[in-house]
């Protein structure tokens, strides 16, 4: 996906390919600006065709039929959104309308996709609010968002996203605005709901700790490109892309002494308007010196299988990277 701007073409994502199955959680991780949200907007068909140029396909298969969100009519995409595919965001306050009661907002989400009366919608919404842990949901139905805490508002957002039993749930930084205890509760709720509805969950985060807790697979993105993909356990044990190695070194470990500073990856991501011709990570990569003929500067690496079920975009083999750790 690219955005034409006055300064030039912003290549927000390029050559990004991923899939997620029912019942599975795929985490998309990467620094700010790496293209995580832009990718999820494309899945939801939320890109503005006037400002975004999108090429490729976003295929959603549900009940035996496959839809390409990129080429489908806006009517088809509207039906998918909030029905088969749903999304929750980092900040529930910006997604909930302050002037409408929470019950009203969950009901509206249901009425958009179902033929039923207001009374049916009320019943469904109360059931859903109850399921996501809003106590006394019947009476809280008529409360306004500001009468709820941050964690409760996030629960309402989850109820809204799930009221139509979606097959795919995209959660874009769903817990970053919450304190640690509430974060853990919301992550647990998402896991429980995933089991309940057998959903595919795409979790967008820059928090590798959250990933370790809830994801089955990880896609690591850097400068709009996929750089490493594999099962969570495998990537934590054997990261093979220098960027992922850097990300993991910046995560505190249980055995780490309290107060030790996390290791940040030195440098900044490149401008998406003038990406380096070779590897986008080259200016920050400590391993580039091991690749002969300056190939990291001149040649763009392709995604390759490095270990069983584990691929990465780097000129070095898994063994070469590990020998220099
Ligand atoms: N409408 C737009 N016009 C121009 N550039 C855009 C537009 N939308 C996004 N971008 C650019 O695309 C890149 C990817 O943005 P995206 O929001 O996907 O990042 P992100 O990985 O979600 O970051 P964060 O962790 O901060 O949420 C950014 O550099 C952003 O500036
Ligand atoms: S291709 Fe080169 S610069 Fe890019 S990650 Fe691998 S070693 Fe580093
Ligand atoms: Mg984002």
The pLDDT score that the predictor gives to residue 176 is 84
For the chain, give every domain's residue range. Answer: 1-82+170-179+199-253+261-325
Q: Which regions of the chain are under pLDDT 70?
A: 252-263
> Does the domain spanning 1-82+170-179+199-253+261-325 belong to CATH 3.40.50.300?
yes
Query: What is the 73 CA–ligand 1 centroid distance (Å)?
Result: 25
With CA atoms as reference, report the closest residue to 265 among 30, 93, 94, 18: 30
The pLDDT tens digits for 33-43 are: 888 888 888 88
The pLDDT score that the predictor gives to residue 316 is 97
Query: What is the 61 CA–ligand 3 centroid distance (Å)?
Result: 25
The pLDDT score that the predictor gives to residue 261 is 56
Sheet holding 168-172, edge to edge: 85-88, 168-172, 200-205, 25-29, 217-222, 225-231, 310-313, 303-307
The pLDDT tens digits for 185-216 are: 999 999 999 999 999 999 999 888 889 889 99
User: Beta strand pairing status for 200-205 and 168-172?
Assistant: parallel
The pLDDT score that the predictor gives to residue 289 is 97
Ligand 2 proximal residues by C-beta, below 6 Å: 241-242, 279, 281-282, 285, 287-288, 291, 296, 301, 314-316
The pLDDT score that the predictor gives to residue 255 is 53
Q: What is the pTM of this model?
A: 0.91
Q: Where are the alpha helices (DSSP H) in 144-179?
A: 150-162
Question: Is 1 close to ligand 1, i.e. is its CB under 6 Å away?
Answer: no
The pLDDT score that the predictor gives to residue 256 is 53
């Amino acid at each position: 996906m690219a955005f034409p701007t006055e300064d030039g073409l912003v290549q927000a994502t390029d050559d990004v390919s991923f899939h997620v199955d029912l019942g599975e959680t795929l985490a998309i991780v990467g620094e700010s600006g790496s293209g995580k949200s832009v990718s999820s907007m494309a899945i939801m068909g939320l890109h503005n065709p006037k400002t975004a140029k999108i090429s490729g396909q976003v295929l959603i298969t549900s009940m035996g039929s496959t839809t390409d969100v990129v080429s489908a009519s806006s009517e088809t995409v509207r039906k998918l959104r909030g029905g088969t595919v749903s999304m929750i965001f980092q900040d529930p306050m910006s997604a909930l309308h302050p002037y409408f009661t929470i019950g009203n907002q969950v009901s509206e989400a249901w009425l958009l996709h179902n033929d039923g009366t207001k009374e049916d919608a009320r019943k469904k919404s109360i059931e859903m609010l109850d399921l996501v842990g809003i106590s006394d949901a019947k009476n809280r139905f008529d409360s306004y968002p500001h009468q709820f805490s941050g964690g409760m508002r996030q629960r309402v957002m989850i109820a809204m996203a799930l009221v139509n039993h979606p097959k795919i749930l995209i959660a874009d930084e769903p817990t970053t605005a919450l304190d640690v205890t509430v974060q853990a509760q919301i992550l647990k709720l998402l896991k429980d709901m995933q089991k309940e509805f057998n959903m595919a969950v795409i979790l967008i985060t820059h928090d590798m700790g959250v990933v370790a807790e809830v994801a089955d697979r990880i896609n690591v993105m850097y400068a709009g490109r996929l750089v490493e993909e594999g099962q969570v356990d495998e990537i934590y044990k054997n990261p093979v892309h220098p960027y992922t190695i850097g990300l993991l070194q910046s995560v505190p470990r249980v055995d780490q002494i309290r107060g030790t500073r996390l290791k940040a990856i030195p440098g900044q991501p490149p401008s998406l308007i003038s990406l380096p011709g070779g590897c986008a990570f080259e200016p920050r990569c400590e391993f580039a010196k091991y690749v002969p003929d300056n190939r990291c500067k001149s040649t763009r690496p392709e995604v390759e299988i490095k270990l069983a079920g584990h691929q990465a975009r780097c000129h070095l083999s898994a063994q070469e990277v590990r020998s220099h750790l």
